[in-house]
Amino acid sequence: MPLESAEAIVIGSYVFNEQDKIVHLLTSCNGIQKIVAPGSSKGKNRFGSLLELFTEGEFFFYRKEDRELATLSKGDIITSYFETVSEPGRIFYFYLIAEIVMKFVPPNFNTERIYKLIKSVLNSSRKGTEMKYLILYFMVWILRIEGMMFETGKCHKCNSQHNMKVWVMPDFRGVVCEKCRNGEGLLLEKTGVEFIEWTKRKSASEIFKTLSSEEYRKVFRILKNKIEYHGEFSMNSSRYLVDLN
Ligand SMILES: [Zn+2]
Protein backbone atom coordinates (compact mmCIF):
# COMPACT_ATOMS: atom_id res chain seq x y z
CA MET A 1 0.00 0.00 0.00
CA PRO A 2 1.50 3.33 -0.97
CA LEU A 3 2.18 5.69 1.88
CA GLU A 4 0.80 9.18 1.52
CA SER A 5 1.93 12.14 3.56
CA ALA A 6 0.56 15.53 4.52
CA GLU A 7 1.69 18.54 6.46
CA ALA A 8 -1.21 19.22 8.79
CA ILE A 9 -2.48 20.62 12.08
CA VAL A 10 -4.56 18.49 14.46
CA ILE A 11 -7.93 20.16 14.97
CA GLY A 12 -9.79 17.43 16.83
CA SER A 13 -9.99 13.79 17.79
CA TYR A 14 -12.34 11.34 19.43
CA VAL A 15 -12.12 7.76 20.67
CA PHE A 16 -13.23 5.14 18.20
CA ASN A 17 -13.29 1.34 18.69
CA GLU A 18 -12.02 1.73 22.29
CA GLN A 19 -8.34 1.72 21.43
CA ASP A 20 -8.22 3.94 18.40
CA LYS A 21 -8.93 7.55 17.70
CA ILE A 22 -10.29 9.35 14.72
CA VAL A 23 -8.22 12.45 14.16
CA HIS A 24 -9.25 15.51 12.17
CA LEU A 25 -6.37 17.10 10.32
CA LEU A 26 -6.35 20.51 8.71
CA THR A 27 -3.90 19.92 5.88
CA SER A 28 -1.73 22.68 4.49
CA CYS A 29 -3.55 22.72 1.15
CA ASN A 30 -5.66 19.60 0.81
CA GLY A 31 -8.76 20.20 2.92
CA ILE A 32 -9.69 18.62 6.21
CA GLN A 33 -8.97 14.91 6.42
CA LYS A 34 -10.22 12.36 8.91
CA ILE A 35 -7.86 9.49 9.63
CA VAL A 36 -7.77 6.58 12.05
CA ALA A 37 -4.88 6.55 14.51
CA PRO A 38 -4.69 2.93 15.68
CA GLY A 39 -3.84 2.30 19.32
CA SER A 40 -3.83 6.00 20.11
CA SER A 41 -6.46 6.06 22.85
CA LYS A 42 -4.65 3.69 25.18
CA GLY A 43 -2.58 4.99 28.04
CA LYS A 44 0.65 4.63 26.14
CA ASN A 45 -0.25 5.74 22.70
CA ARG A 46 2.46 5.21 20.18
CA PHE A 47 2.00 8.60 18.58
CA GLY A 48 2.80 10.49 21.78
CA SER A 49 2.06 14.20 21.66
CA LEU A 50 1.74 14.21 17.86
CA LEU A 51 -2.03 14.07 18.24
CA GLU A 52 -2.43 16.93 20.73
CA LEU A 53 -4.81 19.67 19.64
CA PHE A 54 -3.10 22.11 17.23
CA THR A 55 0.14 20.16 16.93
CA GLU A 56 1.62 20.74 13.50
CA GLY A 57 3.19 17.67 11.99
CA GLU A 58 4.10 15.65 8.96
CA PHE A 59 1.62 12.76 8.89
CA PHE A 60 2.13 9.51 6.98
CA PHE A 61 -0.85 7.32 6.27
CA TYR A 62 -2.09 4.59 3.98
CA ARG A 63 -5.46 3.64 2.54
CA LYS A 64 -6.95 0.20 2.35
CA GLU A 65 -9.35 -0.34 -0.51
CA ASP A 66 -12.20 -1.55 1.68
CA ARG A 67 -11.93 1.26 4.22
CA GLU A 68 -13.37 4.69 3.95
CA LEU A 69 -10.79 6.32 6.21
CA ALA A 70 -7.02 6.36 5.83
CA THR A 71 -4.90 4.92 8.64
CA LEU A 72 -2.10 6.83 10.31
CA SER A 73 1.16 4.95 10.24
CA LYS A 74 3.59 7.48 11.69
CA GLY A 75 4.27 11.17 12.00
CA ASP A 76 6.81 13.75 13.03
CA ILE A 77 6.06 16.88 15.01
CA ILE A 78 6.97 20.04 13.10
CA THR A 79 5.82 22.50 15.79
CA SER A 80 4.24 21.72 19.12
CA TYR A 81 1.88 24.39 20.44
CA PHE A 82 0.84 22.34 23.44
CA GLU A 83 2.06 24.80 26.06
CA THR A 84 0.37 27.72 24.36
CA VAL A 85 -2.91 25.97 23.58
CA SER A 86 -3.36 24.19 26.92
CA GLU A 87 -2.84 27.29 29.03
CA PRO A 88 -6.06 27.75 31.09
CA GLY A 89 -6.73 31.30 29.85
CA ARG A 90 -6.42 30.20 26.24
CA ILE A 91 -7.73 26.67 25.94
CA PHE A 92 -11.40 27.55 25.42
CA TYR A 93 -10.57 30.02 22.69
CA PHE A 94 -8.66 27.29 20.91
CA TYR A 95 -11.58 24.86 21.35
CA LEU A 96 -13.74 27.46 19.67
CA ILE A 97 -11.28 27.93 16.79
CA ALA A 98 -11.12 24.15 16.28
CA GLU A 99 -14.91 23.90 16.34
CA ILE A 100 -15.31 26.66 13.76
CA VAL A 101 -12.75 25.09 11.44
CA MET A 102 -14.39 21.67 11.70
CA LYS A 103 -17.94 22.88 11.20
CA PHE A 104 -17.50 25.87 8.92
CA VAL A 105 -14.90 24.81 6.35
CA PRO A 106 -16.59 22.94 3.48
CA PRO A 107 -15.21 19.51 2.49
CA ASN A 108 -12.56 19.74 -0.22
CA PHE A 109 -12.06 23.46 0.39
CA ASN A 110 -8.55 24.64 -0.46
CA THR A 111 -7.20 25.09 3.05
CA GLU A 112 -3.94 26.85 2.22
CA ARG A 113 -5.04 30.26 3.54
CA ILE A 114 -6.85 28.81 6.55
CA TYR A 115 -3.71 26.89 7.47
CA LYS A 116 -1.68 30.10 7.34
CA LEU A 117 -4.33 31.91 9.38
CA ILE A 118 -4.24 29.25 12.12
CA LYS A 119 -0.45 29.31 12.17
CA SER A 120 -0.41 33.08 12.55
CA VAL A 121 -2.96 32.91 15.40
CA LEU A 122 -0.91 30.20 17.16
CA ASN A 123 2.37 32.05 16.75
CA SER A 124 0.87 35.36 17.87
CA SER A 125 -0.70 33.75 20.90
CA ARG A 126 2.62 32.19 21.80
CA LYS A 127 4.21 35.64 21.64
CA GLY A 128 1.57 36.96 24.02
CA THR A 129 -1.13 38.59 21.89
CA GLU A 130 -4.42 38.49 23.79
CA MET A 131 -6.69 35.63 22.77
CA LYS A 132 -9.82 37.74 23.04
CA TYR A 133 -8.61 39.82 20.09
CA LEU A 134 -7.08 36.91 18.21
CA ILE A 135 -10.44 35.16 18.18
CA LEU A 136 -12.05 38.20 16.51
CA TYR A 137 -9.21 38.35 14.04
CA PHE A 138 -9.64 34.66 13.28
CA MET A 139 -13.42 34.94 12.82
CA VAL A 140 -13.20 37.94 10.49
CA TRP A 141 -10.56 36.22 8.38
CA ILE A 142 -12.22 32.84 8.10
CA LEU A 143 -15.29 34.65 6.79
CA ARG A 144 -13.13 36.59 4.32
CA ILE A 145 -11.29 33.47 3.14
CA GLU A 146 -14.61 31.76 2.47
CA GLY A 147 -15.84 34.86 0.62
CA MET A 148 -18.58 35.64 3.14
CA MET A 149 -17.38 38.69 5.04
CA PHE A 150 -19.66 41.65 4.48
CA GLU A 151 -18.59 45.21 3.86
CA THR A 152 -18.70 47.08 7.17
CA GLY A 153 -17.21 50.36 5.96
CA LYS A 154 -20.26 51.56 4.04
CA CYS A 155 -24.03 51.34 4.06
CA HIS A 156 -25.34 48.49 1.89
CA LYS A 157 -28.22 50.63 0.65
CA CYS A 158 -26.92 54.19 0.14
CA ASN A 159 -23.12 53.59 0.18
CA SER A 160 -22.57 56.27 2.83
CA GLN A 161 -19.31 55.92 4.73
CA HIS A 162 -17.89 56.96 8.11
CA ASN A 163 -21.17 56.41 9.92
CA MET A 164 -21.01 56.61 13.71
CA LYS A 165 -23.37 53.66 13.98
CA VAL A 166 -24.48 50.96 11.57
CA TRP A 167 -26.86 47.99 11.90
CA VAL A 168 -26.22 44.52 10.56
CA MET A 169 -28.87 43.30 8.10
CA PRO A 170 -30.78 40.19 9.27
CA ASP A 171 -29.42 38.13 6.36
CA PHE A 172 -25.87 39.37 7.12
CA ARG A 173 -25.35 40.75 3.60
CA GLY A 174 -24.09 44.04 4.92
CA VAL A 175 -24.73 46.93 7.25
CA VAL A 176 -27.12 49.85 6.92
CA CYS A 177 -26.90 53.41 8.20
CA GLU A 178 -29.38 55.15 10.48
CA LYS A 179 -31.29 56.70 7.55
CA CYS A 180 -31.66 53.43 5.65
CA ARG A 181 -32.36 51.37 8.70
CA ASN A 182 -35.62 49.48 8.81
CA GLY A 183 -35.68 47.75 12.17
CA GLU A 184 -32.41 45.82 11.64
CA GLY A 185 -31.13 44.48 14.92
CA LEU A 186 -27.46 44.21 15.71
CA LEU A 187 -25.77 47.52 16.27
CA LEU A 188 -22.14 48.08 15.39
CA GLU A 189 -20.51 51.30 16.49
CA LYS A 190 -17.67 53.12 14.79
CA THR A 191 -14.94 51.53 16.90
CA GLY A 192 -16.22 48.05 16.02
CA VAL A 193 -16.29 48.92 12.33
CA GLU A 194 -12.76 50.30 12.59
CA PHE A 195 -11.53 47.11 14.24
CA ILE A 196 -12.98 44.95 11.46
CA GLU A 197 -11.65 47.25 8.71
CA TRP A 198 -8.28 47.39 10.36
CA THR A 199 -7.85 43.57 10.25
CA LYS A 200 -7.70 43.85 6.44
CA ARG A 201 -4.34 45.55 6.61
CA LYS A 202 -2.72 43.98 9.65
CA SER A 203 -1.34 40.61 10.66
CA ALA A 204 -2.45 38.75 13.77
CA SER A 205 0.71 39.72 15.63
CA GLU A 206 0.06 43.43 15.08
CA ILE A 207 -3.14 43.65 17.08
CA PHE A 208 -2.96 46.79 19.13
CA LYS A 209 -6.51 48.05 18.83
CA THR A 210 -8.69 47.47 21.82
CA LEU A 211 -12.42 47.74 22.29
CA SER A 212 -14.50 48.51 25.36
CA SER A 213 -15.98 45.32 26.79
CA GLU A 214 -19.42 46.31 25.56
CA GLU A 215 -18.14 46.97 22.03
CA TYR A 216 -16.09 43.82 22.14
CA ARG A 217 -19.15 41.72 22.93
CA LYS A 218 -21.07 43.33 20.08
CA VAL A 219 -18.37 42.56 17.52
CA PHE A 220 -18.01 39.02 18.82
CA ARG A 221 -21.76 38.41 18.73
CA ILE A 222 -22.10 39.72 15.17
CA LEU A 223 -19.29 37.49 13.88
CA LYS A 224 -20.57 34.50 15.84
CA ASN A 225 -24.12 34.95 14.56
CA LYS A 226 -22.90 35.38 11.02
CA ILE A 227 -20.79 32.23 11.09
CA GLU A 228 -23.64 30.27 12.69
CA TYR A 229 -26.13 31.65 10.16
CA HIS A 230 -24.08 30.62 7.13
CA GLY A 231 -22.65 27.43 8.63
CA GLU A 232 -26.04 26.30 10.00
CA PHE A 233 -24.66 25.22 13.35
CA SER A 234 -24.33 26.65 16.84
CA MET A 235 -20.96 27.17 18.44
CA ASN A 236 -21.05 24.96 21.51
CA SER A 237 -17.58 25.97 22.70
CA SER A 238 -18.43 29.64 23.02
CA ARG A 239 -20.51 29.01 26.15
CA TYR A 240 -17.31 28.44 28.14
CA LEU A 241 -16.02 31.89 27.32
CA VAL A 242 -17.61 33.88 30.10
CA ASP A 243 -16.32 37.21 28.78
CA LEU A 244 -18.19 36.81 25.55
CA ASN A 245 -21.66 35.96 26.75
ZN1 LIG B 1 -27.65 54.24 4.15
pLDDT in tens, 145-186: 999 999 999 999 999 999 999 999 989 999 999 999 988 779
Asked if residue 194 and residue 136 are part of one domain, the reply reads yes
Q: What is the Å distance from ligand 1's center to 156 Cα? A: 7
**pLDDT attached to residue 243:** 63
Query: Based on the structure, what is the number of domains in the chain?
Result: 2
Residue 116 and residue 164 in one domain: yes
Residue 241: the pLDDT is 77
Centroid of ligand 1 to alpha carbon of 202 (angstroms)? 28
CATH at residue 160:
1.20.1440.120
> Domain ends where: 57, 80, 103?
80
Q: What is the pLDDT of residues 85-114, one digit of tens each?
A: 999 999 999 999 999 999 999 988 999 999
Residue 185 CA to ligand 1 centre (angstroms): 15
CA of 157 to the centre of ligand 1 (A): 5
Which of residues 53, 80, 107 is at a domain's end?
Answer: 80
User: What is the 158 CA–ligand 1 centroid distance (Å)?
Assistant: 4
- The reported pTM is 0.93
Q: Ligand 1 centre from 182 Cα, in Å?
A: 10
Look at residues 50, 80, 110 and tell me which one is the last residue of a structural domain: 80
Residue ranges in the chain modelled with pLDDT below 50: none
* Residue 72: strand pairing partners: 61
Residue 124: per-residue pLDDT: 96
pLDDT at 182: 86
Q: How far is the CA of 213 from the centre of ligand 1 (A)?
A: 27
| 21 CA → ligand 1 middle, Å | 52
Domain range for 97? 88-244
What separation, in Å, do the N-terminal and C-terminal C-alpha atoms of the chain show?
A: 50
